[in-house]
Amino acid sequence: MATILFIKTSSLGDVIHHMPAIAEARRHRPDARFVWVVEEAFAPLVRLHPAVDATLPVASRRWRHALLQAATWREVRAFVHALRAQAYDEVVDTQGLLRTAIISRLARGHRHGYDAASIREPLAAGFYDVRHSVGRTLHAIERNRTLTGRALGYAPQGDVDFGLERAKLAGPADALYAILLHATARPEKQWPEERWIALGRALAARGTNVLLPCGTEAERGRSERIAAAVSKARVPERQPLDQVARLIAGARFVVGVDTGLLHLAAALRVPLVGVFVGSEPGLTGPMGQGPIAIVGRKGATPTSDEVLGALDQLMVDAR
């Protein structure tokens, strides 16, 4: 049995964008064993994917803040030991960063990655045995599918399939609610708080319960301010990503900025409206087989009425 190592460590959106490549690879290599190196916070989500046989969690985000601690280097050695405990037939690094290229070099196997003209950090290309040319103007999902296909010897084709099943993750059908995803690590992607409040009030007037998930303390403060101004809104407790996936799977619809959880909603085919403010949807926008509407673009902030109008049309089309 062939064993294939995939390296896509972060961020959340990048991890989700790699899932169609994994699902497609499984169709072409049904008997192979797939192992995925991923940042520890995202490992619970990756373990939900039916094509993934094993995960190798890495804690590079946490380690870089504690480089002088002995415990950090014990964890690093343990990770390297686990990584090198077996040989891989192919190693595929779709991240294209220097740190992930180093992981690929530490692994025992035939290493594939982007060439210097295709990669985000050109120095990383020197760590691979085989370097593939992949257009940088392609959507992130297509870049992952293309590199994976070339590494494993097939041509990607067909619709985007993330490999996740909403019905298996969703809770009770009578727990109807919407999710508003305001949180993003990049300030230029944020939609103004007052517009979230206006949208939330419009939804509450229609009898819609609203959930406002958050990850960091700053995000919780924002969620609580919005919830305090909107009836029928609440802030759920922070949960691991597998539980967040179940929460999103059960939603009637999602409205969110360009953030990882929006891409998770697309992966689960939950009807969604993407609110774009500081990024271009053509490169990183949500893709999937469920109902999707995009409002705004880089440098063009939509109003709450525009978002509500897009949502109304989306729900009509989804019937």
pLDDT in tens, 105-150: 999 999 999 999 999 999 999 999 999 999 999 999 999 999 999 9
pLDDT of residue 121: 97
Taking a C-beta distance cutoff of 8 angstroms, is the pair 153, 110 a contact? no
Q: Rounded CA gap, 90 and 80, in Å?
A: 17
Q: What pLDDT, on a 0 to 100 scale, did the predictor assign at position 304? A: 97
Helices (H), 53-205: 60-63, 70-83, 98-106, 140-152, 166-169, 193-205
pLDDT at 317 (0 to 100): 85
Work out the percent of the chain whose per-residue pLDDT is above 70.
Answer: 99
pLDDT band at 319 (very low <50, low <70, confident <90, very high): confident
Structurally, at CATH architecture level, domain 167-318 sits in: 3-Layer(aba) Sandwich (3.40)
- The Cα–Cα gap between 274 and 140 comes to 16
List pLDDT tens digits, range 227-256.
999 999 999 999 999 999 999 999 999 999
Long-range CB pairs of 236-243 (<8 Å, 24+ gap) are 236/211, 236/212, 238/214, 240/44, 241/12, 241/41, 241/42, 241/44, 241/45, 242/44, 242/45, 242/47, 242/48, 243/44
Q: What are the structure tokens assigned to 85, written together?
A: 């405990």
pLDDT at 318 over 90: no
What are the pLDDT digits (tens) for 72-85?
A: 999 999 999 999 99
Q: Report pLDDT for 175.
A: 64
Output the pLDDT for position 172: 67
Q: Is the pLDDT reported for residue 305 higher than 90?
A: yes
In this structure, which topology does domain 3-152 adopt according to CATH?
Rossmann fold (3.40.50)
Across the beta sheet with 54-58, what order do the strands follow? 54-58, 33-39, 3-7, 87-93, 108-114, 130-132
Whole-structure pTM value: 0.92
Residue 174 has pLDDT above 70, yes or no: no
Quickly state the pLDDT bin for 185 (edges 50, 70, 90): confident
What are the Cα distances from residue 105, in Å, to 111, 158, 183?
A: 7, 32, 35
pLDDT at residue 283, rounded to an integer: 79
The segment(s) of the chain belonging to CATH 3.40.50.2000 are: 3-152, 167-318
* Cα distances (Å, whole numbers) of residue 177 to 37, 80, 211, 258: 34, 43, 7, 21
Tokens of 87: 């040989």
